[in-house]
Amino acid sequence: MEILASHLVPTRIMFRIKPMQDLGPRSFGGKQQVGVTDAGYWVGSLGQFPIADRDQILDWRGIIASLEGMAGDLMVGPFDDLRAPTFGAFPPVVTGIPHSDGATFSDGSGYSQSTIRITLAGALPRRATSAVLTIHQAGALQRGMYFSVYEGLRPSLHIITKPPEIDGNHATIQFRPPLRFAVESGATVDFATPKALMNLASADEGALDLDMGRWARPSLELVESWSGV
């Protein structure tokens, strides 16, 4: 599994659930029956990555090569931090946190920590589409927000589809698509940096066409990995 490097950020972003539907024949009145076979799967379009320096070029090449076309899994999110349920004036994630002695890592970076703290109030079975959340520290939850839960390092990405029902520090939410695996009570619900497990939509995705051998603006078309469904 590959993770998109933090300095590779697209300028165009689209994530949506692609419904799995069968269409019947159209009647003389113009109506057409729609049969829903399942709740669908994620597709994504990440466009116009500004690739302009040596490290970005090398990371992009390495990630795309390691995916081996459509075979490898890429953990990537919808880049939606502007709509996360932030707490007060804090960003969704605080970075650069040093060790207890004030030192940072050798490259000057530090730890990262989410400022949004939400957990599951009860266990959820695979294919669940509703949950009760315990809000420890977060802003208001709203329909349309993304979140992830995890099985080890494997993410399951979801979107809230109905206005949450709030009762004290608990929120009952409806979401899609169905949960990809069972999750235990008390598990972290990630609204700060939600992720999905995706594959390249075709073996030709990610080609890096360098202008003057120095910069490029590649794009990626993605579909949810069968390892995540």
pLDDT digits (tens, 9 = 90+) for 68-82: 999 999 999 999 999
**pLDDT of res. 26:** 66
Please check whether residues 221 and 179 belong to one and the same domain.
no
- Its pTM stands at 0.85
Please check whether residues 92 and 160 belong to one and the same domain.
yes
**Pick the residue with more confidence: 84 or 6?**
84
Please check whether residues 42 and 8 belong to one and the same domain.
yes
Average pLDDT over residues 109-132: 88
Structural domain containing residue 71: 1-77+197-229
Please check whether residues 68 and 121 belong to one and the same domain.
no
CATH code assigned at 209: 3.30.200
Convert the pLDDT of each residue in 123-182 to its tens digit. Answer: 999 999 999 999 999 999 999 999 999 999 999 999 999 999 999 999 999 999 999 999
Please check whether residues 97 and 154 belong to one and the same domain.
yes
Q: Is the pLDDT of residue 97 over 50?
A: no
CATH code assigned at 162: 2.40.30.290
Please check whether residues 87 and 20 belong to one and the same domain.
no
DSSP string covering the chain: -EE--TT---SEEEEEEEEEEEEEEEPTTS-EEEEEEEEEEEEEEEE---B-SHHHHHHHHHHHHHHTTTTS-EEE----GGGS---TT--SEEEEEPPTTS---TTS--EEEES-EEEESS-B-TT--EEEEEEEE-----TT-EEEEEETTEEEEEEE-SPPEEETTEEEEEEES--SS-B-TT-B-BSSS--EEEEESSTTTT----BTTTBB---EEEEE-TTT-
**Domains held by the chain: number:** 2
Please check whether residues 215 and 142 belong to one and the same domain.
no
